[in-house]
Structure 1
Amino acid sequence: MKSLWRLRFYKYSHLHSNNNINIKMSHQKCFSSGAPRRYSYYVAPMIVAEPTRGLVDELIRLKITYLMPNRQVTLQSKLLSEDADWWEAYAHYVSDSEGIVRVSRDKSFGGTYKGQEPMGLIWSMKLAPGSRPGMRLRKKDVTVPYLITISVYDGWISMNFDKRAVLASVVLERFYMAPGVTRIELNEEPVIGTMFFPPGPGPFPAILDMWGGGGGLVEYRAALLASRGFATFALAYLGHKNVPRSLQTFDPNLSYFKEAFNILNNHAKVSKGNVAILGLSLGFTLALLMATEIPNIHPKCLVCISGSHYKGLLEGQPVIFPDFHKDENKIKITEDGSVIWRNIPLPFPDDPKRMVQVDKIRCPMMLIFGEDDQNWPAPESAVEIQKVLKAAGKEHLLTTLAYPQTGHLIEPPYSPHFRKSKFKVPSSDKAVTVLWGGEAKPHSDAQEDSWKKILVFLEEHLVSHHPVAVTQSKLYSGSATFLVTSHPGGRDGGHDPTSDEEALSLVLTTAVTSSDSQTTLRLVLLPYNVLQRWDMHVVSHQGNWTADRTRRKGNTYANSKRARSHARTWQFSSQLFNFPPVLYPRASDCVSGF
């Protein structure tokens, strides 16, 4: 008997079976006899995340749909660190009249954060119950992303998530390295570190990146800066297996740091003379020393975070902060056993040999500090530096960013806040629990705000000061489309490029605005398989095989029959190219070609 299907009505139904919530949609199957037979199916809740893949400093838009209207739900984020520790955050929300929760719009009523916080599920992460105490979340392998699972649960819950049914989940990939960024290790003398270069031939403005007295090689900030258009050298100078003790000697001439600066400045992909120095904690002090004490070193600008102009170095010996042992009475111990070191240099000594002579500064400098820094007297040092520069008539060189209720560890945006954590003192190889200070919400706001201002500061003093300045470069957005040409190299004629991802490359079109207000198109090559990882797939293609028109004139391959059989024009949706802005320092680089 022939049957017909028609939609009868929609009905919301809350089913308690297996703790699942669904939207029930009812249909009727109508036979020719007129006897109806009802069938039902259910639409499960769904999490929509934009983007699911992106850089760690990019905002994520989360929306949960197909929930029961005005229903209490819990959102949880969770990741497994490279140290095998679980980190998590959670928040309590109520769906609207349409059964939707928008994290960027709606307020959290409880959990690890409250209020309207679009990125609260990231920055409020803490060690999950049962994990080792005192750990920090730090990326070791920047070539792979963080994998963060976002899940939604029925009701407001605060524990035992693994015992509750998950209504929906999505996995986010958060990268420090954008597609096309190059990572180069320097594992031998004279210096040890890792260089990161943005896509393209360069030359690029550059940054020497130094972390603090914890030592080791920390790459993630450098990788993120390279993803934002700056060639960056993450320098290891203390507590690293490949840095010999002889190189850890802080000699009066700072030879190791001078060599590192010169290697970066003279690199073929670096715009010579356009090098900044960025330092945190002890790196702050070293940045000041390099700018004031080393002859023939002329950084374009300095970014100094959570540090001091107090030297704290024992010249000629591989020991830092010798006063740790002499002034133990200045070290405070909290009730839970955490140590506070901020009083060790206070009051600042009158001996000029113990302080960096900041009146010798010749370049713009940005000072960033938290007013609740419990590790080092950064606020007091900022006041003293401002007084010295004002007396020297150089106050115009100083930009100060002070953040209340913010601690010592000011990192890239959305990094979890650590009020205290374990710390290994390099001079003694002993681990202690250090109180860094700060409160989660204000500290997170400070990280987000300072990062934006750091990028603006670096662009102002590195990019705009280039002889042929390029002030901005952005990939198109909106309703425009890209015409991208594919070139599978070394294959026989007539081979479809989409069938061989390893051979296929894409030429991405960007718009660059130079100092003369003229816009030029730039082509950048990226492997197709790299683009696939970022969900940049072919939407449609148009036309037949066409001749290669993008290679430089005079290239015999470009005019060959083989080239004409390998070139094809593809059309992409511009919204798939959600890359960050990239800075290209020379208009001469903005020429189509290979």
Structure 2
Amino acid sequence: MISRRSVLQCITAGSLVGLVGHTGSTAQPESTADGTAQNATGKLRVSPTSVHYDEPFTLMVSGVAPGTVVTITARTFDREGRQWASFATFTASSKGVVDIETHAPDAGTYETVSPMGLIWSMRPTDGESSIYAPPEGGSDLTLTASADGRQIGQQTVTRWFGPKKLHTEASPDGLLGTLFRPSGDGPYPGVMVLHGSGGQPAVGSALMLAAHGYAAFAPQYFGPPDAVPDQLAEVPLEYLQRGYDWLTSRPAVRDGSVGLLGTSKGAELALLAGATFDWVGAVAAYAPSGIVWAGLTYGGEMTSSWTLDGDPVPFVPTAFPPSVIADYVASWPLGGSVSLRPTYEVGLEQASTERISEATIPVENIDGPVTLVSGGDDRLWPSATFGRMVVRRLRNHEHPYPVRHVTTETAGHAISFPYQPTTGLTAISSPPPGTTMALGGSPEGLARANKESWPVVLSTLEGGLS
């Protein structure tokens, strides 16, 4: 039996000869401008051959003998130049056709019918686990179809990460971040994109929004350098007010309301800022919390994540139950994953009703539509439960704007925009060395969540900022 890693290594070498049961010569296909490549053994058609990252493409092989085993491979490179690859083998239909939109693979890096399975199931060909970071601008995806040791065809799809004509602008002193927008005079509606506890600006989501005609500002609100707090603790909400003032002062940015898109702690911040400032016109919150939690400090001190007018915003402390400590102890020599979800669940159980009430974000004050996106298998914190709490509060207060909660049971914490590799997003490196922090979900579940939630997020921003 041929291992998945062996196939990926052969993809790296640019050949599947010997893996599909035939070692004959390889016929060279003829390519046409319409995305079709063919030779005497069949035809490969891919359409379109230039797409934005969140746009799908179709792939079909035709003209082969019924029952032919067809192997399709995909190759691309990430921002660091590392090669990623995937593959799937199919049995051609009675009409001599393989269509990835309707056919399940017999074997490969994914198992069920999934039109973009060749994308989300990609892995680094060096065998190491990694999170895929797309190159900015256009990057090439090479798709190859072969059968009986012969290449049927090869096509390249150019995938654009951000608008084809991109304008960027760095923020002024005292405000860290970058504005991404399409080139041109605009004016474009503004969105602030808020990162999570990783502390790095959410450039990817900002570029994706820019491709949809938004002026997306990705600020950094904690971490080095000195312009912002060095840890996620007592971050002033007024920092976002400065971000709004600068964003809407740009000549190409539409004045008035802006949207907030946040992930994890950034989603908590988005909901809190939306309930605090009247300039927020829409909120999209990935892996959200409608409760303010303790900040993340180097020394373990319990303090709020945020301040307003110089005062800490009321918060609920996290807890470290024995089960989490035991998981850390057990995982360190074995390299296992640790779920931090119990630290929040037990924190809620231990907090008084009064403390929870004080720390609950008054989301009913948000002057616009609200969308929550969560995974039922979130292992970092119970975002699906938190999302339901937000929805319940909004409905109890008869929120006059659309409220939507997109939940995917097989997804975890790392839900984002669609059609990207998700194989490295179920866990991330964590101290101590050798352990990982569980994010939850499966690669396929995350891919489904990305696809289902992204149009809802775009609709929320469009509805609140139109």
Instruction: State the one-letter code of the partner of 1:219.
Output: V
Percent of aligned pairs sharing the same letter: 23
Deviations 1:29-49 (A, max 9, x none): xxxxxxxxxxxxx73655332
Q: 1:95 aligns with which of 66, 77, 92?
A: 92
Distance 1:327 1:366, change over 3 A: same
Give the Cα–Cα distance (whole angstroms) in 2 for the partners of residues 327 and 17 of structure 1: 58
TM-score, normalised by the number of residues in structure 1: 0.62
* 3-state SS of paired residue (2:168): strand
| Structure 1 residue 369 displacement after superposition | 0.6
Structure-2 separation of matches of 1:380 and 1:17: 55
Cα contact 1:190–1:256 (8 A) shared by 2: no
Matched residue, 2:157 = 172
Which of 94, 110, 127 matches 1:131? Answer: 127
1:412 maps to which of 414, 417, 440? 417
Give 2:15's aligned residue: none
From the superposition, tell whether residues 324 and 431 of structure 1 become closer, same or farther in structure 2 (CA, over 3 Å): farther
Match of 1:454 among 444, 452, 457: 457
5 Å matches for 1:393-542?
393-394=398-399, 398-417=403-422, 418=424, 420-423=426-429, 432-463=435-466
How far is the alpha carbon of 1:432 from its aligned partner?
A: 4.4
1:197 aligns with 2:190: no
User: Paired residue for 1:494?
Assistant: none
Sort the Cα spacing of 1:154 and 1:318 in 2 relative to 1 into closer, same or farther, 3 A.
same
Name the CA shift for 1:148/1:431 in 2 (closer, same or farther; >3 Å).
farther
Asked if 2 retains the 8 angstrom alpha-carbon contact of 1:330 and 1:341, the reply is no
Paired position in structure 1 for 2:3: none
Partner amino acid, structure 2, of 1:445: R
The offset of 1:338, in angstroms, is 0.4
- Aligned partner (choices 214, 217, 221) of residue 205 of structure 2: 221
Bigger CA drift: 83-92 or 277-286? Answer: 83-92
Residues 412-454 of structure 1 show CA distances to partners (whole Å, capped at 9, x for unaligned) of 11122245333357xx9x7841211112333322211111111
Equivalent residue letter for 2:108 = G
Query: Retained in 2: the 8 A contact 1:371–1:404?
Result: yes
| CA-to-aligned-CA distance 1:224-256 (integer Å, 9 cap, x gap) | 1111111111122234x5564547575474232
1:57 pairs with 2:42: no
Q: Which amino acid aligns with 1:87?
A: W
Deviation at 1:359, TM superposition (A): 4.5
Structure 1 pair 422–17 and aligned structure 2 pair: CA distance change class (3 A): closer
Secondary structure of residue in 2 paired with 1:149: strand
Cα distance, 1:358 vs structure 2: 3.2
State the shift of 1:69 in Å. 4.2
1:120 CA displacement: 1.4
Cα–Cα, structure 1 residues 366 and 288, in superposed 2: closer, same or farther, change >3 Å? same
Alignment of 1:24-423 (within 5 A): 43=40, 45-96=42-93, 99-128=96-125, 130-133=126-129, 135-139=130-134, 141-143=135-137, 145-154=138-147, 166-186=151-171, 188-239=172-223, 241-242=224-225, 244=227, 246=229, 250-251=233-234, 253-293=236-276, 296-314=277-295, 327=320, 329=322, 331=324, 332=327, 337-347=336-346, 348=348, 349=351, 350=353, 351=355, 352-394=357-399, 398-417=403-422, 418=424, 420-423=426-429
Q: What code does the residue aligned with 1:440 have?
A: P
In the TM superposition, residue 284 of structure 1 has moved relative to its aligned partner by 0.5
What residue identity is the alignment partner of 1:142? E
What letter is aligned with 1:268?
P
CA separation of 1:387 and 1:22: change in aligned 2, threshold 3 A: closer
- TM-superposed CA distance for 1:62, in Å, is 1.3
Larger Rg over CA atoms: 1
Query: 1:367/1:70 Cα in 2 relative to 1: closer, same or farther (>3 Å)?
Result: same
Question: Greater shift after overlay, 258-267 or 323-332?
Answer: 323-332
* Pair 1:314–1:408, CA change in 2 (3 A): closer
- Quote how far apart the aligned CAs of 1:395 are: 7.5
Counting helix residues as a fraction of each chain, which structure ranks higher? 2
Q: CA deviation at 1:177?
A: 1.8
Q: Are the structure 2 counterparts of residues 424 and 172 from structure 1 closer, same or farther at C-alpha, using a change threshold of 3 Å?
A: farther
Question: What's the Cα RMSD here?
Answer: 3.3
Deviates more, 1:74-83 or 1:164-173: 164-173
What's the offset of the Cα at 1:17? 6.1
Q: Give 1:508's aligned residue.
A: none
CA distance in 2, matches of 1:80, 1:324: 42
Cα offset, 1:21, TM superposition: 6.5
Instruction: Give yes or no for contact 1:274–1:300 (8 Å, CA) kept in 2.
Output: yes
| Contact 2:76–2:140 under 8 Å retained in 1 | yes
Contact persistence 1:21–1:68 (CA under 8 A): no
When residues 328 and 148 of structure 1 are mapped into structure 2, their CA distance, relative to the original with a 3 A threshold, is farther
For residues 304-362 of structure 1, what are the alpha-carbon distances to aligned partners after superposition, in whole Å with 9 as ceiling and x for unaligned?
Answer: 11021232344999989879996263524577510101121224233145443434434
- In the alignment, the residues of structure 2 paired with residue 377 and residue 102 of structure 1 have an alpha-carbon distance, to the nearest angstrom, of 38
Question: 1:514-541: CA deviations, max 9, x gaps?
Answer: xxxxxxxxxxxxxxxxxxxxxxxxxxxx
Cα gap change, 1:243 to 1:455, in 2 (>3 Å): farther
* Counterpart Cα distance in 1 of 2:297 and 2:103: 58
**What is residue 36 of structure 2 aligned with on the other side?**
none
Return the alpha-carbon distance in structure 2 between the equivalents of residues 253 and 71 of structure 1: 63
Compared CA separation, residues 103 and 210, structure 1 to 2 (3 A): same
Equivalent-residue separation in structure 1 for 2:389 and 2:219 (angstroms): 28
The question of whether the paired residues in 2 share the 8 Å contact of 1:303 and 1:454 is answered with yes
Map Cα deviations across residues 235-286 of structure 1 (whole Å, 9 max, x no partner).
Answer: 22234x5564547575474232221122113322222113110001011011
Unaligned runs of 5+ in 1: 1-14, 24-41, 156-163, 464-594
Q: Match of 1:588?
A: none
1:147 is aligned with what amino acid?
A: D
- Could you tell me which runs of 5 or more consecutive residues in structure 2 were left unpaired when the two chains were aligned: 1-20, 30-38, 304-315
Whether the aligned pair in 2 keeps the contact of 1:309 and 1:355 (CA below 8 Å) is yes
Separation in structure 2 between the aligned mates of residue 318 and residue 210 of structure 1, nearest angstrom:
24
> For 1:69 and 1:336, how far apart are their aligned partners in 2?
47
Mapped partners of 2:252, 2:434: distance in 1: 40
Q: 2: CA distance between counterparts of 1:376 and 1:121?
A: 30
Quickly say closer, same or farther: Cα 1:71–1:382, change in 2 above 3 A: same
Deviation string 1:92-126 (CA, Å, 9 cap, x unpaired) is 11234564433234332222223432211112223
Shift of 1:396: 5.4
Assess if the C-alpha contact under 8 Å between 1:194 and 1:233 holds in 2: yes
In structure 2, relative to structure 1, the CA distance for the partners of 1:113 and 1:194 (3 Å cut) is same
Instruction: Work out whether residues 368 and 464 of structure 2, in 8 Å CA contact, stay in contact via their aligned partners in 1.
Output: no
